Amino acid sequence: MRVRCALSTLMGREKYQIQDVHEKTGLSRSTVSNLYNEKSKRIDYDTILKLCSLFDCEINELLYLERDEV
């Protein structure tokens, strides 16, 4: 099982670029890029709050569990 980030899906829905999310949230460009590309190993509560606020979504729309196939 692993945690997945749906930031790229949310950004695609709104037609946002990484730069747009960076400017609208105040998050660093590298943070947004790492989440977009699912390279992050951890995420701060403040980051989650800013992204959920920007996309008007719940946490489970941003982050979700992907179960391993048995």
CATH number for the domain that contains residue 46: 1.10.260.40
Can you list the alpha helix ranges (DSSP code H) found in 1-70? 7-14, 18-25, 29-36, 45-55, 59-62
Q: What is the pLDDT of residues 9-55, one digit of tens each?
A: 999 999 999 999 999 999 999 999 999 999 999 999 999 999 999 99
Domains in the chain, number: 1
Distance CA 2, CA 50 (A): 22
SS3 5: strand
pTM (2 d.p.): 0.91
| Residue numbers of the domain that contains 8 | 2-66
